[in-house]
Amino acid sequence: MPACKMSRSSQVTALVSGDRKKAEEQAAKYGVPAKSIYDYKSYDEIGNNPDIDAVYIALPNSMHAEYTIRAANAGKHVFCEKPMATTPKDSQAMVNACRAAGKKLMIAYRCHYEPTNLRAVQLIRDGKLGKIQAIESAFGFSEKMGEWRLNRKLAGGGPLMDVGIYSLNACRYLTGEEPSKIEGYSSTIDKDGRFAEVEENVSWTMRFPSGIVASCNTTYGGQMEGYYRVHGSTVICTWNPRSATKGFA
């Protein structure tokens, strides 16, 4: 929302919240009129509000499908946080609802549009690194007790689908290929109650059709700034947070 305020092409025109007081505070901050504050019951009434072109959905993962479908049914475009949903069935239902309503559906995964990553992809496609042989990547963080990401029903999974996906997708856009083989291990080390429903760590290795191999880690239990390291036959390309301010995650 702060970024939206800086944008010349979009603005916050309505709010949906289960907490009226919080919604009013935010409304004051973003200049949203009281009539454009909704809760989860009145949400479908957005269809009557011409100030709303699109809905941005930042709810826990398992709620993406319902609120996308209700927005589409109300005649609004949808910009939904990643991951799209917690099942392929829900994802397909979201596509179907938006298609039936003639509305656009976009998932808020941006890394493959970031200038740094686009530059890395271009360097690779232009052969500046020689032939790509192998990639390492990792991304994770230490999640706090009680967060919805640790609730399997709300999150749909653990760190792999939340942040490990940045590493997996980096391997996909850097190679331009889909992995043909994948193996991995998950583990939980901290017995502090956080990881009763989702795993703490995932480590995996992949092989792509061209022969490029990749190894990745993700965690909800440690410090793991995102990075990738691409090994070409002649040059290494590394993106990490100490050497770049944009890109990846």
Nearer to a copy of itself, 73 or 188 (CB): 188
> Closest separation between CB of residue 64 and a copy of itself, Å?
28
Q: Which of 43, 82, 109, 173 is catalytic?
A: 82
Told to check if 223 binds a copy of itself by CB under 8 A, we report: yes
Please give the order of strands across the beta sheet that includes 213-219.
181-187, 201-207, 213-219, 132-142, 221-232, 236-239
Which residues, at least 6 apart from 200, have a Cβ–Cβ distance to it below 8 Å?
158, 159, 186, 187, 188, 189, 190, 194, 219, 220, 221
Question: Shortest gap between Cβ of 214 and a copy of itself (angstroms)?
Answer: 6
* Residue 169 interacting with a copy of itself (CB under 8 A): no
Select the span of 83-91, 109-117, 148-156, 210-218 touching a copy of itself (CB under 8 A). Answer: 210-218
Preceding peptide of 33 cis, ω within 30°? no
Ranges within 78-97 binding a copy of itself (CB under 8 A) = none
Of the ranges 30-38, 48-56, 108-116, 211-219, which one interacts with a copy of itself (CB under 8 A)? 211-219
Select 52 or 230, whichever has its Cβ closest to a copy of itself. Answer: 230
Which tokens in the block code for residue 72?
A: 């589409």
82 catalytic, yes or no?
yes
CA–CA dist 246, 115 (Å, integer): 8
- Cα separation, 12 vs 35, in Å, equals 14
Nearer to a copy of itself by C-beta: 96 or 210? 210
Beta bridge partners of 140: 224
Stretch that binds a copy of itself, among 43-51, 71-79, 93-101, 232-240 (CB under 8 A): 232-240
Can you tell me which residue has the tokens 């993106």? 239
106 binds a copy of itself (CB under 8 A): no
Is 166 designated active site? Answer: yes
β-pairing verdict for 132-142 and 221-232 = antiparallel
In this chain, which of 11, 51, 187, 196 binds a copy of itself, going by CB under 8 A?
187
Does 134 bind a copy of itself (CB under 8 A)? Our answer is yes
For residue 214, the cross-strand partners are: 135, 206
Residue 105 binds to a copy of itself (criterion: CB under 8 A): no
Considering only residues 28 to 57 of the shown chain, the ones binding a copy of itself according to CB under 8 A are none
Among 231, 247, 248, 249, indicate the residue that binds a copy of itself (CB under 8 A): 231
Q: Note whether 139 and 161 are within 8 A (CB).
A: no
As a whole number of angstroms, the distance between CA 244 and CA 238 comes to 10
In DSSP terms, which residues pair with 230 in a beta bridge? Answer: 135, 237
Residues that bind a copy of itself (CB under 8 A): 130-136, 138, 140, 142, 181, 183-190, 200-207, 210-219, 221-225, 229, 231-236
Q: Report the catalytic residues.
A: 82, 166
